[in-house]
Structure 1
Amino acid sequence: MSKFQAFMKENVGQAELVELPLARFGESIKIRPIPSDEADLINDRCFKNIPGKKGRQERVFDPVAYNRRMNVASIVHPDLNDTELQQSYGVRGAEALYGKMFLAGETSLISEKVQEISGLDESLEDQIDEVKN
């Protein structure tokens, strides 16, 4: 028997979908946690080059784009890639639909829940304190 048995893929618990009720909609949206490798890809796509000193390009991180892309990637239901849903809001693309469909406060609630279920809501200090206790 392997000394890493608990870490083998077949023994790891599957991440559950989380329902998040939003008052304006007749049913809850369903979101999933974002795995680290997917978060890394989203992170990489949120850097943009801008002109810097002496004509050099500087890479700058766009936190708004990061949060939006993380949220869009986490929403399982409704399917933001659905053409009919996009047409009903007069947009094309999941990110454009997300921007039209949800109010600013709703996007904040979605962001908070995505961070919570993906394990991004605890600071390093919180984790250290938890281990100490």
Structure 2
Amino acid sequence: MSLQNFFAQNVQAEIVEEVIISDRFKDESGSSIKWKLRTVTESENEALRKAATRQIKGRNGTRMQETSQEEYVGKLAVASVVYPDLKNAELQQSYQVMGAEQLLKKMLFPGEYATLLTMVQEMNGFDRDIDEMADEVKN
């Protein structure tokens, strides 16, 4: 093993996958349109988590941080969707919303949104626990 295997130029920087989130979005020939999803780096993930964290008052006036899981996964989904362009003003106007997070929630049915969140979390490694990875390394 060489330490060079860990150098930035030798590691796949970003993974992009094409997936069908919903059969409701069709192209001109009637085929389901694939969405493009990408992985995020931990530094991007940290910024998303911080953006979903608020200061709240705890007992005796102490300040505590609280992260909204719903807001965080919404931000993670938006950061992971490459196509369609959720920041496109025309697309947002067509659904009469402002903002990529609101657009996703307006575009998708609850089950479709859950499918998107599951795929995004899996791509970013949130579907595997440490014990599973340790078992794979042993084998």
Establish whether TM, by shorter chain, passes 0.5: yes
**2:33 counterpart of 1:34:** no
Runs of 4 or more above 4 Å deviation:
none
Q: Given residue 38 of structure 2, which amino acid in structure 1 is its aligned partner? A: R
Which residue of the other structure, out of 113, 122, 126, is the alignment partner of 2:119? 113
**2:44 counterpart of 1:44:** no
Q: Relative to structure 2, which stretch is displaced further, 79-88 or 94-103?
A: 94-103
**What are the ranges of 5 or more consecutive residues in structure 2 without an aligned counterpart?**
27-32
Distance in 1 (alpha carbons) for counterparts of 2:5 and 2:66: 40
TM-score by length of 1: 0.90
**2:69 counterpart of 1:63:** yes
Aligned residue in 1 for 2:93 = 87
TM-score by length of 2: 0.87
Distance in 1 (alpha carbons) for counterparts of 2:137 and 2:74: 32
Aligned residue in 2 for 1:9 = 8
Distance in 2 (alpha carbons) for counterparts of 1:15 and 1:57: 37
CA RMSD of aligned residues (A): 1.4
Shift of 1:56: 2.2
Shift of 1:105: 0.8
Aligned residue in 2 for 1:101 = 107
Q: Relative to structure 2, which stretch is displaced further, 121-130 or 11-20?
A: 11-20
Distance in 2 (alpha carbons) for counterparts of 1:48 and 1:56: 14
Q: What is the count of residue pairs matched by the alignment?
A: 131
**2:87 counterpart of 1:76:** no
Q: Given residue 23 of structure 1, which amino acid in structure 2 is its aligned partner? A: D
**2:60 counterpart of 1:54:** yes
Deviation by residue 1:75-97 (Cα, 9 ceiling, x = unmatched): 00010000000000001111111
